[in-house]
Amino acid sequence: MSRASRLALAPLAALPLLVSLGPAAASAARGQATRSVVYARHGMVCAAQPLAVQAGVEILKAGGSAADAAIATNACLGLMEPTANGLGGDLFAILWDPKANKVVGLNASGRAPLALTIDKVPPEKDGTIPLYSPYSWTVPGCADGWFELHAKYGKLPMKQILAPAIRYAEEGFPLSPVIADDWGRSVARFQDKPGFREVFMPGGRAPRELTIDKVPPEKDGTVPLYSPYSWTVPGCADGWFELHAKYGKLPMKQILAPAIRYAEEGFPLSPVIADDWGRSVAHFQDKPGFREVFMPGGRAPREGEIFKNPALAKTLRQLAEGGRDAYYQGPIAEALVRYSQANGGFFAKEDFARHRSTWDEPIATDYRGVRVWELPPNSQGLAALELLNLLEGFDLKGMGRESADFWHVFVEAKKLAYADRARYYADPAFAKVPVEQLLAKDYAKQRAALIDMKHATLTDAPGEVAALNRKETTYLCAADESGMMVSLIQSNYTGFGSGYVVPEVGFGLQDRGGLFSLHKEHANALAPGKRPFQTIIPAFVTKDGQPLMAFGVMGGDMQPQGHAQVIVNLFDFGMNLQEAGDAIRFHHTGSSEPTGTVMKDGGVLHIEDGLPASVLEELTRRGHVLKPEAVGQYGGYQAIWRDAATGVYSGATEKRK
């Protein structure tokens, strides 16, 4: 590794050490690891942006809980990686509660507007909801999630927690190369969206009255993604406050202080974010408000340039001082409703006032001596557990990772799990989701028997559960000295979301509503006040009833595939925490989807470089359509591991970001 590469990686590897008030050490890299696992005694924060990690570390050092640190980190990520997440999006979290000695789950995703019915949506050619339009908006749940977390687990005041994000929003921050590239590529798509220029080019729940009949479908019959039809109420902020209320130690003002500082003072863009930003510009530059916020000087910020977002700093200050009500019943909701009414959306004040996050019981399965936890539908965490159940009956270690059998059985099992995902996963408040049956080991055995080891399947079909007797993103994890561990994921869905940006508040609206189905009989069909199928999933692992690992692999429908690959690497092949994330990954696309699209040709197997040519040739002979590539959508991994005997934490981070 070159000296420049080592320096570029140093912040991510070193920052978790800052929380250790005692000795810390790094293991020697071995096997396939590209860097050392990092160890610390008293706490740890793992995320893809070093300045955001530093903000979380500041909160831990100030006496905050892991929940406080997670909120502070998330607030900064929403500022620094707007190509993936923000206050216009949703949030999910799984925590280890050391006092209750159990795993708990938070669903801070938003619902559809009451005014939007399925008949109002003009579908795309494929029958889906237009993504980059108001039809894809749902009530953002992120802020509510913050306050839920804070109310339950917070220690510091929210004003302190949000201070770093506010500081960076006001003063600016340098863009990384990746974010700068993403930002730049987004401009062409979003620059004409209302508000996008004002915020990004400066010089979780679907709306309740939106019904399926109001949506003009895409050509494939899906909801138009980049449109108001895809908006849902953002649940992220509510999720913050839910976490804080239950597990926070510091005031939210203190927790948000780093994010506020970065928003005001600015921060430098990293290579990854700069790349994402740049690629997004062409798509979003015409969306209302996009240029104003995300295209300072009329273009996407470049790698290393300082980006500020004073409007977002103001929004975070309102949250720090006014709590979740400032978002859902105050000036932020009022601004979002005004913007929605001006740009063809369906939001009303009632959509925000009625929004609440929910504390859900996590679901789990046993695999190779550990218990793997995910959140239940409307998220797609169940797919990761179904996939592990299917793989459990195969001798993966005996096959070896450099055999065609290993990759073949993994992909075929994925197709089976995703067929169930397409049919059954939905908001359980509106549809009966047979979670217990889908998780049954006997059901997995029946489904695994369908795998033909010589031929790839070209179509997929869900299992019949009646015979059993009765769904772009950022991930982070944090841990503290008390033993609390937080696994948290937050997203706008596709990059900048719908591309519609509200300059007054400094963030854009997600397009999660694009994941509704426009087929009225489908479990995931759009309905007023309903939560859409969600791709974002945090994960957790316990062993013998004690916490072992908080982890996640961000990236759309890659996430269940990524979770299963990490678990197999750890517990079938004995890799260390960093090796498990660095190992060659695959990403199979083209399965049937909860939006109503159906797999017809077996999909495409994207696989990273490094496998023997003979393996690729054999997979092709079995009928897989291969796309070997060095760079692709293989997700972003973060993980914290806890040694039960010593209480020492170890951390690993994604080499691909």
Q: Is the pLDDT of residue 482 over 80?
A: yes
Q: Is the pLDDT of residue 17 over 90?
A: no
Q: Select from 543, 480, 533 the least CA-distant residue to 95.
A: 480
The letter for the amino acid at 440 is A
What are the C-alpha distances in Å from 374 to residues 167, 380, 636? 34, 9, 17
Q: Is the pLDDT of residue 351 over 80?
A: yes
Q: What are phi and psi of 541, to 5 degrees?
A: -130, 135
270 pLDDT band, cuts 50/70/90, is confident
What three-state secondary structure class fits 452? coil
Beta strands 267-268 and 173-174 are unpaired
Say how far apart CA 240 and CA 476 lie, in whole Å.
13
Question: Quick check: pTM over 0.75?
Answer: yes
Percent of the chain with pLDDT over 90: 67
pLDDT at 465: 52
Burial label for 329, CB within 10 Å (0-12, 13-18, 19+), is: middle
Fill in the DSSP letter of residue 296: G
pLDDT at 337: 96
Say how far apart CA 135 and CA 123 lie, in whole Å.
10
Q: Find the helix or strand (DSSP H, E) in which 342 lies.
A: helix 331-342
Residue with tokens 């951390």: 651
The alpha carbon torsion through 338, 339, 343, 346 (nearest 10 deg) reads -60
Which of 181-195, 359-373, 413-427, 592-606 has the least mean pLDDT? 181-195
* Crossing angle (nearest 10°) for helices 66-80 and 258-265: 20
pLDDT 10s digits, 510-521: 998 999 999 998
Burial string for 494-505 (b: 16+ CB within 10 Å, else e) reads: bbbbbbbbbbbb
pLDDT at 206: 45
Fill in the DSSP letter of residue 622: T
Residue with tokens 């859409």: 532
Say how far apart CA 233 and CA 348 lie, in whole Å.
10
CB 593 within 8 A of CB 567: no
pLDDT 10s digits, 47-70: 988 899 999 999 999 999 999 999
CB 164 within 8 A of CB 255: no
Q: What is the mean pLDDT of residues 197-208?
A: 59
Say how far apart CA 452 and CA 115 lie, in whole Å.
47
**What is 318-340 written as a DSSP string?**
HHHHH-HHHHHSSHHHHHHHHHH
Q: Is the pLDDT of residue 503 over 50?
A: yes
631 pLDDT band, cuts 50/70/90, is confident
Q: What is the mean pLDDT of residues 184-207?
A: 69
CB 362 within 8 A of CB 384: no
Q: Select from 73, 242, 241, 247 the least CA-distant residue to 154.
A: 247
Q: Is the pLDDT of residue 611 over 70?
A: yes
**What is 224-293 written as a DSSP string?**
PEEEEEEEEB-EEEHHHHHHHHHHEES-HHHHESHHHHHHHH-EEBPHHHHHHHHTTEESBSSSTEEHHH
Q: What are phi and psi of 162, to 5 degrees?
A: -85, -10
Q: Find the helix or strand (DSSP H, E) in which 118 lies.
A: strand 116-120
Q: Is the pLDDT of residue 527 over 90?
A: yes
Say how far apart CA 238 and CA 109 lie, in whole Å.
9
What are the C-alpha distances in Å from 417 to residues 117, 444, 557? 30, 9, 12
Which of 182-196, 369-383, 467-481 shows the highest mean pLDDT?
369-383
209 pLDDT band, cuts 50/70/90, is low
Which of 2-6, 373-377, 573-577 has the least mean pLDDT? 2-6
pLDDT at 173: 79
pLDDT at 462: 74
Q: Is the pLDDT of residue 107 over 70?
A: yes
Say how far apart CA 554 and CA 559 lie, in whole Å.
6
Residue with tokens 């530093």: 54
Say how far apart CA 500 and CA 478 lie, in whole Å.
31
30 pLDDT band, cuts 50/70/90, is very low
Tell me which of 14 and 53 has the higher pLDDT: 53
5 pLDDT band, cuts 50/70/90, is very low
* Mean pLDDT estimate for the chain: 88
Q: Is the pLDDT of residue 507 over 50?
A: yes
Say how far apart CA 510 and CA 82 lie, in whole Å.
11
Say how far apart CA 136 and CA 230 lie, in whole Å.
0
Beta strands 154-155 and 248-249 are parallel
Q: What are phi and psi of 235, to 5 degrees?
A: -100, -5
pLDDT at 469: 31
Give the angle 74-78-84 at the CA atoms, nearest 5°. 110
Q: Is the pLDDT of residue 41 over 80?
A: yes
Residue with tokens 């009225």: 520
Q: Is the pLDDT of residue 10 over 60?
A: no
* Crossing angle (nearest 10°) for helices 3-14 and 50-61: 30
Q: Find the helix or strand (DSSP H, E) in which 639 lies.
A: strand 636-642
Fill in the DSSP letter of residue 98: T
Token pair in block for residue 397? 């270690």
Conformational region of residue 629, where left means phi above 0, alpha means psi within -120 to 50, and beta covers everything else: beta
**Domains of the chain, start order:** 50-171 (no CATH), 222-357+498-512 (no CATH), 363-476+535-653 (1.10.246.130)
472 pLDDT band, cuts 50/70/90, is low
Tell me which of 205 and 41 has the higher pLDDT: 41
Q: Is the pLDDT of residue 115 over 90?
A: yes
Q: Is the pLDDT of residue 28 over 60?
A: no
Q: Is the pLDDT of residue 131 over 80?
A: yes
Q: Is the pLDDT of residue 301 over 90?
A: yes
The letter for the amino acid at 134 is P
| Strand partners of residue 434 | none
82 pLDDT band, cuts 50/70/90, is confident
Largest CA distance in the chain: 63
pLDDT at 493: 85
Q: Find the helix or strand (DSSP H, E) in which 566 lies.
A: helix 558-571
Q: Is the pLDDT of residue 410 over 90?
A: yes
Say how far apart CA 324 and CA 316 lie, in whole Å.
11
pLDDT 10s digits, 414-468: 999 999 999 999 999 999 899 999 999 999 999 999 999 999 998 877 765 543 3
Q: What is the mean pLDDT of residues 326-355?
A: 95
| Strand partners of residue 548 | none
Tell me which of 508 and 177 has the higher pLDDT: 508
Q: Is the pLDDT of residue 399 over 80?
A: yes
